[in-house]
Structure 1
Amino acid sequence: MPFGKFGPSGKPRFALLAGLLALPLLALPGGTANASAAGGGWNETDCVSEHPRPVVLVHGTGANGTLNWLGLAPYLVERGYCVYSSDFGQLPGLPVFHGLGPIEESSAQLAAHVDEVLAATGADEVDIVGHSQGGMMPRHYLKNHPGAADKVNALIAIAPSTNGTTLLGLTALLDAFPGLADAIDGFSPAMIQQVTGSDFLTELNADGYTVPGVEYTVIATRYDEVVTPYRTQFIDEPGVRNVLLQDLCPLNVSEHVTIGLTDRMAFHEVVNALDPATAEPTDCRHILF
């Protein structure tokens, strides 16, 4: 079968990275996402914020609603935001590693989660912040769920698989080894859906990347080794703000995982996008502060 028919992500190495990063979750009570989130100040039903919109965090492939946000969620909470995350793309028998199921189903889960957050907070809109698949999948939600664009003010995508990935050329193995794509698809449809040229991404991007009424920001690092080439993460459409961290500070060496997990420059850019009226320039100082 031709390479172009295989969907997005072919990320065996990312699955391994996500697995290593998820090990701390095993020490949590019950190994669940809620255990950590409850102690981190987010996912609180009685949250009162100085900001008009709650923030919905959308995790990446092989991660979950806690693992992906151990850095950014507390950072936002400390700055007065009400923050909510959940798991999506779960597969049977995998209690920690999520974001692996069909992206269309994850999109429907996000739709339900947004509605739950709006109902719980009484807000009219949310802001969505996503990492990797979590930066791309909300575009499916916005384009395919009626009324979604009226519920979302902004989408801030950190290292998103906007146009899929070549995984540093490794996805070429899908053509070289017959049956490999089917094997990966059987394990994780979302991985295969994120390969550059997939049917899923071709359809998603065919009529444009954005929808009217939603503000878009993309934050990327040139050292991304998972979503490659890194510039394919950007959205070349009017009104979209594309940020390369190394343009702000050449000393930044974050790669795909750390840009979403620990990078305080990326975090500062997220806050700038959430509240442009009070935005402050991001520079090398924000690597540490």
Structure 2
Amino acid sequence: MGSFLARARRVRAVVVMAVCTLAAAVALPAAPAQAAAHDPVLFVHGVWTDGPTTWTDMIADFEREGWDPASLQMMNYNTAQSLEDSAAEVVDEVAALRARTGAAKVDIVAHSMGAPMVRWYLKFLGGTQYVDDFVSIAGGNHGGIGTEFCAPVQPSCQDMLMYSPFLQALNSGDETPGPTTYTALWSSCDEFLNPDSTALLDGADNIWAGCLGHVTMVNWPQNFVRTENAVA
């Protein structure tokens, strides 16, 4: 009899422990979900009279949305030199950003003249293996930028003329090569681009931003949202 009671007590203890363990497991709060890691972003300015400060407001917007400031990098370059020379500098900028952050790939956001320059890097300098997403904002992708905005003798200005050898080579064949995803934001009131459709890219997600000026395109709040969505 005593042996039977002892066994019953042991069985009951085991059952109680199992029930308590199950209840504790159910009561434990779920582990917080880890925020999705973002690719680092390289910002490339355009406009001959402009510079990296083009991106001050947009980068502040990214930081406000929780992006790591260390992953947001502005590029500077000599806007008078040929766009092929500038594209070669993108190689080093991307390599430096990847090395600093440990990321396998980066995203690139470019404005105006910076867009075709980055596209040269993507198409001819192996960039598509290192760039996940590319966003062109008011990019002069097919020329049409008036020479009144730069000295006609500057190589970059010559490259941006419609039907220049640079643009003919860039736009021959696939305009959006490789596994990189392409987004092009364009305005129907861009005073720098003529025609406005020069900003579009075959194979890209072409998004009309409304009637905005060339420089305003960078700082327009909705364009930040569109850009963040494109690189998220």
- The TM-score, its normalising length taken from structure 1, stands at 0.63
CA distance in structure 2 between the aligned counterparts of 1:103 and 1:135, rounded to whole angstroms: 10
CA distance in structure 2 between the aligned counterparts of 1:51 and 1:72, rounded to whole angstroms: 19
CA distance in structure 2 between the aligned counterparts of 1:126 and 1:193, rounded to whole angstroms: 26
Structure 1 match to 2:55? 69
Identity of aligned residues (%): 28
Q: Closer, same or farther in 2 for the Cα pair 1:104/1:166, shift >3 Å?
A: closer
Q: Of residues 222, 236, 244 in structure 1, which corresponds to 2:208? A: 244
Amino acid at match of 2:152: I
Helix, strand or coil at the partner of 2:161: coil
Helix, strand or coil at the partner of 1:71: helix
Q: Is 2:75 the counterpart of 1:86?
A: yes
Q: Is 2:155 the counterpart of 1:165?
A: no
CA distance in structure 2 between the aligned counterparts of 1:227 and 1:76, rounded to whole angstroms: 27
User: What per-residue deviation string (whole Å, max 9, x for no partner) do you get for residues 50-86 of structure 1?
Assistant: 5331010010032212x21122111112122221012
Deviation for aligned residue 1:215:
0.1
Structure 2 match to 1:213? 179
Does the 8 Å contact 1:102/1:189 carry over to 2?
Answer: yes
Structure 1 segments unaligned to the other structure (5+ residues): 1-48, 91-98, 174-180, 247-252, 276-289
Helix, strand or coil at the partner of 2:94: helix
Q: Is 2:231 the counterpart of 1:271?
A: no
Deviation for aligned residue 1:166:
5.1
Deviation for aligned residue 1:208:
1.9
CA distance in structure 2 between the aligned counterparts of 1:60 and 1:139, rounded to whole angstroms: 13
User: What per-residue deviation string (whole Å, max 9, x for no partner) do you get for residues 220-246 of structure 1?
Assistant: 111101021111211122xx2000012
CA distance in structure 2 between the aligned counterparts of 1:60 and 1:263, rounded to whole angstroms: 16
Amino acid at match of 1:204: L
CA distance in structure 1 between the aligned counterparts of 2:199 and 2:140, rounded to whole angstroms: 6
Query: Which structure 1 residue ranges, 4+ long, deviate > 2 Å from structure 2?
Result: 49-52
Amino acid at match of 2:224: F
Structure 1 match to 2:212? 254
Q: CA RMSD in A?
A: 1.8
Report which stretch shifted further, 51-60 or 110-119: 51-60
Amino acid at match of 1:152: V
Structure 1 match to 2:9? none
Structure 2 match to 1:133? 113
Does the 8 Å contact 2:145/2:160 carry over to 1?
Answer: no
Deviation for aligned residue 1:164:
0.5
Larger CA Rg, structure 1 vs 2: 2
Helix, strand or coil at the partner of 1:256: coil
Q: Is 2:163 the counterpart of 1:184?
A: no
User: How many residue pairs are counted as aligned between the two chains?
Assistant: 193
- The TM-score, its normalising length taken from structure 2, stands at 0.78
CA distance in structure 2 between the aligned counterparts of 1:236 and 1:184, rounded to whole angstroms: 28
Structure 1 match to 2:3? none
